[in-house]
Structures are given as C-alpha cells and as structure tokens.
C-alpha cells in the first residue's frame, strides 16, 4: 500500500462519473481502476453500493477481477438516516457487504442543510455521524468522512462545522475531508479555514474541491500548505458542473514542485499515457491544453520562444516534460521563425541550413496566408520540408482526374460515388468507390485503385475529418480548410488541404495522407 502519511484519494468512479455526458459501465470502471492503481494512488472510491446497482456490481466483481498493487478500494455512502440505528440501516449494510476495506461517509456540516435537507436537528445529525462511524469501525472498516458543504457551513455556523469534525474524529474516523461542494472558495480564504480546522480540532484533515470558480487545484494546494494531508480529486478533472480538482495536476504539482513522494517516479512518467488512456475509456475528448499531460502542454509556437529553446529548452518550460511522460513539440505557423522550423526539422531527422530554414519559413507564411495550417498537420509539414531541402516527396502516383456524384435515391438514402483516374507504376488505373459521403467515396476509390500495387494501404485508416470555413467575401464562396487525421498500426498523422471547393480541399488532404502513409511504411517511389 502507498505511504499512509499523505493520502492521494481518487473519486473518478463516483464523483467524476457525475459529469454530464459521461456514462461508465462496470467494465469501464474496472479498467479505470487498474490505470489509477498503476499510477500509484492510495485510494480509489468505487461508487455507492446499495444506492446504485452498477456500483454494487462493481464491488462484487472487484473482489475477483481487481488485483490492486498500490490502492485500496473505498465504498462511498451516507451516514445512517435520522431516527434509526446504523446497524439497522440497509444502506449502511450495503457498505459493509461491499467488503471494501475503506468506507467514506458523506455527512452534513452546514447547519441549514441539516435542518432543511435532512429535516432533523443539529444534535441528531451529530449522533448520526457518531453512530455510523463507530459502527463501521467496530465492523473492521477504516472510515473517512466527507464533510459536505463544509466551507459554506463554516461561514454560517463555524462552531457547528468544527463540531462535526470533532464528532467524526472522536468516533474513529481517520480523516475528515473538508468539501468545497459548491466550488466557490478562493485559495487564501480556504487556507484560513483549513488552518483553523486543523488547529481547533486536532483531527487529520483532507480536502475535496470542485472547480466552479476555476480554483479547485489551487485550493487543494492551499489546503495542503495549511495542514491537509489527504487530497481528493478526479482523473482529468472530471465531475459535475465544472468538474473536480484534477488529480493528475495536483499530484504532479505536489511531487515535482513541493517535493512530496506520492507515487513512484516511474509511475509519474506514465501520467500522460494514463490520462489519455482514461480519456479513451470514458470517451471524453482529451483536453489538449490540460497541464502536464495535454498534447499542447509543452508545445511552442512563437518564434521568440523557439529561438530561446534552441539554446536551452528549459528557458520556456517549467519542467522536463519527460518527467510526466510528455514531449516538447515545436509548432510551425506564420508566427514561426527560423529556430522553430530548424527544431521541428531536427525532430523529423533533418538538419536544415540557414538558407533552407529561411526558405521554409517564407513558404510556410505564404501558405498560411492562404489558409493552410501546419501546427495541426505535421505530415503536411514534413512533405513540404522534404520539397524544400531537395529531398522530394515520393510520387507513388499521379492524378489524372477525379469526380464525385451525390445521389439521393427514391428511398431517401443519400449515396456518394467517386471515380479516380490515376497513374501508378506505369499503369493507368480507373477506379470507383461508393461511400456515405464524398470524402469517404474518394477514400474508397483510391484504395480500390492502389491497394493492389501498395498493399500497405490496407493498414491506413482515416479516423478524423474536420472542416473549417475561413474568411471569405461571402458565405458559400468562402475558403475551406480541411484537416484529416489518419492512422496505421504504429501511430497517427494529420494532413491539410485548402480550397474554395470543399471536395478539392478534402482531396488535397487525402492525397497527402495516402502519400505519407506509404512513406511511413518504408515504400520507395518507382
């Protein structure tokens, strides 16, 4: 188990799953738990057994399907209901039956919530906490308590909010996590309250922050500085409304900036991979600008920055990206200078002369003025670079013509049919393909034409297609930019096309995607 002196507690499977549009199966939750354990967190909150059948099933399957190396599972639930004993409450029984070694109880710490939401007295609420914590402790469970709405409750009635902490600690709760449930606190005021809770109660204090004011990570760090030794958060900042504290950002900040030994260094170097893997499971598009793990977290675009990075990468980076498994990226755009393209070229295996880099910068700026973008189209940039340095891009085929017909059939189905006329390896090839749209039809026609000669194309797949209408004199006559992302068994690449005609722009990007795919496969041009 992880070091007990400081807790990293993940609540993705419960609180994070409340994010709008996020729906996890039991299999999803088991897979995410494995990744969190691989990172090295101390506790994984699996859900609320008894209140949610899916969560009950998760704990049942976890007994035989999870082999956790670092983390312990925690079952989440509420204190017993007013007017009954904890031993008789069926929801408390479900917490016992989950067989989780840790139980996290949520309890009211805001006097108005006790009276208006629970509809009971302040004293009965304290007794509910005392009875439930002591009962679960007697049953052999380790108990944490989430003091819900603590900071708002402290504003309303500080004496009562602190008494909730004392009651839980005296009954046997190991940690009382102070919850900024509405997410409205700011770091300085939150730190003052945490410090008061630590000094006035002597209890072990944790922190659970929501991001409604954009301060969840900052508030968590402030709480730690004020004496909290237990932090809660969610993978990638998932959660209801604006989300929870991003646990990955919290861990990286505490370990790399504050010197805490929270997860093994080799696990921290997997942080980017784990963040993206969880994004795939949740089917939530990764935030490219997410601190530490986003694909843009160490991406440099300005020419001034690139010039400095060429001398020393740390002049414009707060850490070595390898510490969290990320990479520095040089973006090529109309803001680029020679240093940007030289560094980008070096990353691709080319040492550019001063004359070549100057010519390439001018060509990039000329094309971007027409609407092209290369910061999101690395493959198109490499093909352009090869032309610039005299190592011409391979011509696996030449295009005689193409055409697309879109037909709406009597049954309402709309089908696109594309015909391409190509020359490859001395042959003139005419091929046709049908698809659910013009680009899909063109893609299929190209495959029909070329896969016999270049079987490597069978592994190339078009996985994303983006269209942006750029500035133009009038609506439908505006310039269109198309970005296509393709993949093979070894990775992904993106290509760009620009034209007033959306199909021509798509064809440009598609033709480059096929060319680059063959180049990656090691094919030499005839």
Q: How far apart are CA 501 and CA 232, in angstroms?
A: 51
pLDDT at 474: 46
pLDDT at 381: 85
At residue 303, does pLDDT exceed 60?
no
Domain of 92, in residue numbers = 7-282
* CATH number of residue 497's parent domain: 3.30.160.270
At residue 336, does pLDDT exceed 70?
no
At residue 308, does pLDDT exceed 60?
no
Q: How far apart are CA 456 and CA 517, in angstroms?
A: 8
pLDDT at 520: 87
Nearest to 47 by CA among 2, 82, 11, 19: 11
Percent above pLDDT 70 for the chain = 90
Q: How confident is the model at residue 477 (pLDDT cuts 50, 70, 90)?
A: low
Give the relative orientation of helices 26-39 and 271-282 as an angle to the nearest 10 degrees. Answer: 170
At residue 500, does pLDDT exceed 80?
yes
Integer-rounded Cα radius of gyration of the chain: 29
The answer to whether residue 2 sits within a structural domain is: no
- pLDDT tens-digit profile of 344-403? 677 677 777 788 878 887 887 788 778 887 766 788 888 888 887 766 667 899 999 999
- pLDDT tens-digit profile of 11-43? 999 999 999 988 888 988 998 999 999 999 999
267 and 305 share one domain:
no
The answer to whether residue 456 sits within a structural domain is: yes
Q: How confident is the model at residue 281 (pLDDT cuts 50, 70, 90)?
A: confident
Number of domains in the chain: 3
305 and 170 share one domain:
no
Contact 477, 371 (CB under 8 A): no
User: Worst-scoring range by mean pLDDT, 39-48, 107-116, 206-215?
Assistant: 107-116
- pLDDT tens-digit profile of 413-468? 899 999 999 999 999 999 999 998 999 999 999 999 999 999 999 999 988 888 87
105 and 20 share one domain:
yes
Boundary residue ending a domain (249, 282, 315):
282
212 and 309 share one domain:
no
215 and 326 share one domain:
no
pLDDT at 473: 45
49 and 195 share one domain:
yes
CB atoms within 10 A of CB 418: 27
At residue 334, does pLDDT exceed 50?
no
360 and 258 share one domain:
no
Contact 332, 375 (CB under 8 A): yes
Report how far apart, in Å, the C-alpha atoms of 460 and of each of 215, 425, 435 are: 43, 20, 17
The answer to whether residue 271 sits within a structural domain is: yes
150 vs 51 pLDDT, higher one: 150
The answer to whether residue 393 sits within a structural domain is: no
Q: Please state, rounded to an integer, the average pLDDT across all residues of the chain.
A: 88
At residue 191, does pLDDT exceed 80?
yes
The answer to whether residue 383 sits within a structural domain is: no
266 and 312 share one domain:
no
352 and 467 share one domain:
no
The answer to whether residue 316 sits within a structural domain is: yes
Percent above pLDDT 90 for the chain = 62
pLDDT at 344: 67
355 and 484 share one domain:
no
Boundary residue ending a domain (282, 316, 343):
282
- The top-scoring range by mean pLDDT among 40-49, 317-326, 331-340, 405-414 is 40-49
* CATH number of residue 111's parent domain: 3.20.20.70
At residue 162, does pLDDT exceed 80?
yes
The answer to whether residue 256 sits within a structural domain is: yes
pLDDT at 295: 75
Q: How confident is the model at residue 339 (pLDDT cuts 50, 70, 90)?
A: low
DSSP characters for 465-513?
EEEEE---SSGGGS-EEEEEEEEETTEEEEEEEEESSHHHHHHHHHHHH
Q: How confident is the model at residue 300 (pLDDT cuts 50, 70, 90)?
A: low
Contact 348, 385 (CB under 8 A): yes
Average pLDDT over every residue of 100-110: 96
299 vs 362 pLDDT, higher one: 362
pLDDT at 512: 93
420 and 471 share one domain:
yes
Contact 466, 482 (CB under 8 A): yes
pLDDT at 166: 97
242 Rama class: left (phi>0) / alpha (psi -120 to 50) / beta = alpha
Boundary residue ending a domain (247, 282, 317):
282
The answer to whether residue 159 sits within a structural domain is: yes
Q: How far apart are CA 386 and CA 131, in angstroms?
A: 73
38 and 75 share one domain:
yes
């Amino acid at each position: 188990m992880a070091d007990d002196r400081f807790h990293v507690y993940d609540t993705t499977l419960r609180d994070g799953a409340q994010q709008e549009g996020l729906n996890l199966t039991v299999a999803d939750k088991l897979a995410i738990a494995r990744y969190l354990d691989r990172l090295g967190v101390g506790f994984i909150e699996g859900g609320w057994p008894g209140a949610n059948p899916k969560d009950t099933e998760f704990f049942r399957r976890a007994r035989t399907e999870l082999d956790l190396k670092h983390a312990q599972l925690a079952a989440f639930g509420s204190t017993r209901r007013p007017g009954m004993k904890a031993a008789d409450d069926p929801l408390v029984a479900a917490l016992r039956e989950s067989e989780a070694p840790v139980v996290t109880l949520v309890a009211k710490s805001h006097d108005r919530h006790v009276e208006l939401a629970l509809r009971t007295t302040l004293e009965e609420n304290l007794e509910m906490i005392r009875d439930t914590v002591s009962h679960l402790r007697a049953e052999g469970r380790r108990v944490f308590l989430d003091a819900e709405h603590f900071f708002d409750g402290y504003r309303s009635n500080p004496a009562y909010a602190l008494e909730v902490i004392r009651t839980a600690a005296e009954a046997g709760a190991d940690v009382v996590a102070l919850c900024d449930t509405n997410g409205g606190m700011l770091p300085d005021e939150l730190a003052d309250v945490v410090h008061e809770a630590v000094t006035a109660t002597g209890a072990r204090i944790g922190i659970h922050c929501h991001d409604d004011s954009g301060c969840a990570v900052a508030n968590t760090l402030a709480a730690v500085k004020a004496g909290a030794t237990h932090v809660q958060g969610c993978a990638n900042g998932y959660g209801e409304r604006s989300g929870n504290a991003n646990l990955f950002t919290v861990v990286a900040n505490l370990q790399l900036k504050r010197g805490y030994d929270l997860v093994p260094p080799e696990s921290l170097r997997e942080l980017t991979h784990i963040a993206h893997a969880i994004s795939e499971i949740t089917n939530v598009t990764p935030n490219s600008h997410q601190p530490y793990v986003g694909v843009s977290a160490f991406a440099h675009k300005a020419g001034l920055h690139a010039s400095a990075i060429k001398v020393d990468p740390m002049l414009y980076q707060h850490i070595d990206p390898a510490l969290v498994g990320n990479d520095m990226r040089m973006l090529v755009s109309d803001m680029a200078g020679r240093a940007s393209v030289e560094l980008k070229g070096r990353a691709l295996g080319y040492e550019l002369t001063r004359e070549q880099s100057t010519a390439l910068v001018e060509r990039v700026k000329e094309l971007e003025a027409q609407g092209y973008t290369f910061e999101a189209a690395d493959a198109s940039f490499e093909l352009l670079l090869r032309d610039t340095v005299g190592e011409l891009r391979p011509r696996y085929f030449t295009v005689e013509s193409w055409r697309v017909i879109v037909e709406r059939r009597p049954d309402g189905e709309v089908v696109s049919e594309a015909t391409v006329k190509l020359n490859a390896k001395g042959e003139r090839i005419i091929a046709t393909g049908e698809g659910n749209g013009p680009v899909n039809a063109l893609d299929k026609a190209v495959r029909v034409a070329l896969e016999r000669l270049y079987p490597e194309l069978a592994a190339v797949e078009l996985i994303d297609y983006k269209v942006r209408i750029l500035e133009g004199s009038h609506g439908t006559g505006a310039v269109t930019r198309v970005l296509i992302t393709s993949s093979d068994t070894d990775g992904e690449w993106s290509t760009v096309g620009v034209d007033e005609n959306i199909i021509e722009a798509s064809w440009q990007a598609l033709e480059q995607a096929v060319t680059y795919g063959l180049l990656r496969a090691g094919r030499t041009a005839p």
